[in-house]
Amino acid sequence: MKISVIGTGYVGLVSGTCFAEMGNNVICVDIDEKKVASLEKGIVPIYEPGLETMVLENHKKETLNFTTDIKAALDNSNICFIAVGTPMGEDGSADLQYVLAVAKSIGEHMRHHMYIIDKSTVPVGTADKVKATVQAELDKRGSNLTFDVISNPEFLKEGAAIEDFMKPDRVVIGADTEEAIRVMRELYAPFTRSHDRFIAMDVRSAEMTKYAANAMLATKISFMNEMSNICERVGADVNKVRHGIGSDNRIGYSFIYPGCGYGGSCFPKDVQALAKTAKDFGYTPRILDAVEAVNYDQKRVISDKVIKKFGENLEGKTFAVWGLAFKPETDDMREASSITVINELTKRGAKIKAYDPKARHEAESFYLKDNANVEYVESKYTALSRADALLLLTEWKEFRSPDFTEIEKRLNQAVIFDGRNQYNKEKLEAIGFEYHQIGVQS
């Protein structure tokens, strides 16, 4: 099938590449000329395991191409995915300006029937706005061309996006016509051969499904973090409580790990956008508001623990930070807890020596670029030298079984603040460490 994907960010590039992998002819479009030129040279702008190899292979086979020319891309496709950003506005709503700008361009340039698919995460009712925008441009042209607007939300986990796309749990399609559903079923058939995971529904329900899924997962995280804060105050161990409740198959173990808050491009934005949508329709989403409030506070739990031990004035103190990305296997730092923790400590005078295997460039060039109190190092042990404590903020695999003798030797004092509960408290305390974690009394 002939596909165009508008937007070469995380969702667009992964989606286009995976469609090409299955033999489709894919053209990815972006207005950023430098990004397109880099992709043409095989330079992938994001880190995602397996993505670079797949991009290079399919570009070499000419099933995956990149351009800034949306007109040419539309001329050579009949399926067009909109996969541009929907950043969070000041009021928490999703900003649709880029989605609607693409819709306008499609209406201006399409020359045959198009299946227009919203792949970006968008609020309920966005398909109607896209449809109206495309139709308005066709009316200006005096054109009687037809089109379908389809909702196809993505459910990709950063760090496992290729596997999620190639072997999806479900493919949700919202469409108004049987023909649109048929086309989408054909497109996704190679990805759902072993199990029929294709779920067709109306457009608004499909738009809502994405928000409901992310809100549910964020709720589990904030719920467990709230339990961890209660456990810490009453003398319980949240790690044991997690095992106790996770064994109930109605609850399960997924997304009930306590930590220093969720981040990334989805959960924070989608929870707030869904809450804003609810309020726009006259409903107060009390659970969603609480989920977001708990997460806001949770990002400060580790810095609060550090301040409690070392005091409000952190002049002369240096802290080693392991992990900057919001989760392992990605370089994404959007809404990462590390940003909050580092800024809370440095504004009190602390120095930070930070290490992350993938996110250093993101921190240096954007998220922490104005923070002169942060030094970036090339290895986890280098970060420890002459530091007053270690702060673990991202659960990368290389942090799971470190050499604690080496850690103790390099630190000024054997103190660890673990924001992801990676280590065994009893074992560390037995070898002389002062170990602070989430949801357990120190």
- Among residues 18, 28, 231, 266, which one is catalytic? 266
Question: Is beta strand 389-392 parallel, antiparallel or unpaired with respect to 2-6?
Answer: unpaired
DSSP designation for 249: T
Angle at 72 between CA 101 and CA 17, to 5 degrees: 80
Q: Are 109 and 71 in contact (CB under 8 A)?
A: yes
Which DSSP symbol is given to 177?
S
Q: Give 273's contacts (C-beta < 8 A, 6+ positions apart).
A: 86, 88, 92, 93, 94, 121, 123, 211
Asked if 394 and 324 count as a contact pair (C-beta separation under 8 A), the reply is yes
Which DSSP string corresponds to 100-161?
A: HHHHHHHHHH--S-EEEEE-S---TTHHHHHHHHHHHHHHHHT----EEEEE----PPTTSH
Q: Tally Cβ neighbours within 10 Å of residue 77.
A: 23
Active site residue 266: yes
Looking at this protein, which amino acid is placed at residue 149? V
Tell me if 435 sits within 8 A of 420, measured CB to CB.
no
Which residues are identified as catalytic? 266
